[in-house]
Amino acid sequence: MSINRAQAIPEEVERQRVLARQRSATRRATLTPEQAEQQRTVARERSASRRASLTTHEIERQRALTRERNATTRASLTPEQADQQRTLVRERSVSRRASLTSQEIEQQRALNRERNAATRASLTPEQAEQQRTLVRERSASRRASLTSQEIELQRALTRERNATTRASLTPEQAEQQRILASMRTMATRATASPKIAEEQRVLTRKRIATRRAAYTPEEAEQQREAARRRSLLKKTSKSKQIVTKTGVCKTIEVEWPKPADTECKTNCLKKFIQQMSMGSLAEGICGICNIRCYQRDLRRVPLNKIPSIELLKTPEDLCSVIPCIQRTQNLHSNEKHNINNDVDLAMVEGEAG
């Protein structure tokens, strides 16, 4: 069979494909819904088992071949056939989604997110930028082909989706979304050139003007009143939410900026004098690590309470390196402990006297 295919001319190959498609269509037309579903299940199982037995290189090669076939098929289609193919794909997607349960829909979304994340992670910066450019061009061409009613319908659907998504978010998630949006906006502004920034400003002004033009007089007045309140709140006061013992939140208007009272100034001055006094700034040297630090951080410890006191002696190597150095005796001996205890006791008695 493979030899016959290799020797066949392109016209013969195309004729064979057409005949195979016709046979498949005739066979499918004679199947009952149960048999058709059974055939699909068997085909899915075969595909899954075939994919499971493939290596990574074979999978990548299969994907490349599939892309080439799809590209060749799309290139040979007329605009009417391409539009018909898109319509069929949309209808299949709609029918497939309509037959899915909520759990299956959520599972499909999770799989799509994982696939998209894996695809984005494997892209180079140039490929990622190319993908963004293609998405923008597709969106622009799609918007250009829409009528005014379709555009308004798309906006209404987008608003409903966003409202539903926001309503399902917890306060922490909503705050996280705002922070992410602010970071994205700041990153976009920081990386934008002056020309792109100016274009963005012009587009924003046009959008705002279009939105204002679509307002009714009542909505316009409501927007102005809200803007006045926001400006007044920013300029004259700030709002604080205080939870009382009963759990009721009250909004208190606090004047800002407010001059500090005399008591606050006096307390600040006392703390400053206390922290900057000679007693607070006095320094000492640690007898263990030989560093200078504040005396308030030092503490006196008797020698007999120091753990591992045998380490507090001159190293043997130091005596051989530095000549004429007096070797220290072992501080771990009982006699040395007694002498140190007597010295400490005499110092305590002298201070008491």
163 part of a folded domain: yes
277 part of a folded domain: yes
Q: What is the pLDDT of residues 60-69, one digit of tens each?
A: 888 888 888 8
Q: Percent of the chain, pLDDT > 90?
A: 0
pLDDT of residue 353: 42
Per-residue confidence band for 97, with pLDDT thresholds at 50, 70 and 90: confident
Give the separation between CA 255 and CA 238, rounded to whole angstroms.
7
45 part of a folded domain: no
My answer on whether 315 and 289 are in the same domain is no
78 part of a folded domain: no
Q: What is the pLDDT of residues 9-66, one digit of tens each?
A: 778 888 888 888 888 888 888 888 888 888 888 888 888 888 888 888 888 888 888 8
Per-residue confidence band for 328, with pLDDT thresholds at 50, 70 and 90: very low
Total H helices, total E strands in the chain: 15, 4
5 part of a folded domain: no
My answer on whether 159 and 183 are in the same domain is yes
My answer on whether 317 and 346 are in the same domain is yes
183-187, 207-211, 294-298, 331-335: least confident range: 331-335
Q: What is the pLDDT of residues 259-272, one digit of tens each?
A: 788 888 889 998 89
Give the separation between CA 88 and CA 39, rounded to whole angstroms.
20
204 part of a folded domain: yes
Give the separation between CA 132 and CA 196, rounded to whole angstroms.
16
Domain boundary among 126, 161, 191: 191
pLDDT of residue 250: 47
138-152, 285-299, 301-315: least confident range: 301-315
77 part of a folded domain: no
Structure tokens at 6: 């290799």
Give the separation between CA 282 and CA 8, rounded to whole angstroms.
100
pLDDT of residue 248: 44
pLDDT of residue 236: 66
Please return the burial class of 298, using the count of CB atoms within 10 Å of its CB with bins 0-12, 13-18 and 19+: middle
For the chain, the domain total comes to 4
SS3 readout for 137-199 = HHHHHHHHCCCHHHHHHHHHHHHHHHHHHHHCCCHHHHHHHHHHHHHHHHHHHHHCCHHHHHH
Alpha-carbon separation of residue 103 from 99, 100, 106, 108, 115 (angstroms): 12, 8, 5, 9, 18
Residue 339 or 87, more confident: 87
My answer on whether 148 and 182 are in the same domain is yes
My answer on whether 325 and 337 are in the same domain is yes
Closest CA to 233 of 210, 215, 212, 256: 256
My answer on whether 186 and 207 are in the same domain is no
My answer on whether 203 and 187 are in the same domain is no
134 part of a folded domain: no
Q: What is the pLDDT of residues 128-173, one digit of tens each?
A: 888 888 888 888 888 888 888 888 888 888 888 888 888 888 888 8
Domain range for 315 is: 310-353
Domain boundary among 206, 232, 258: 232
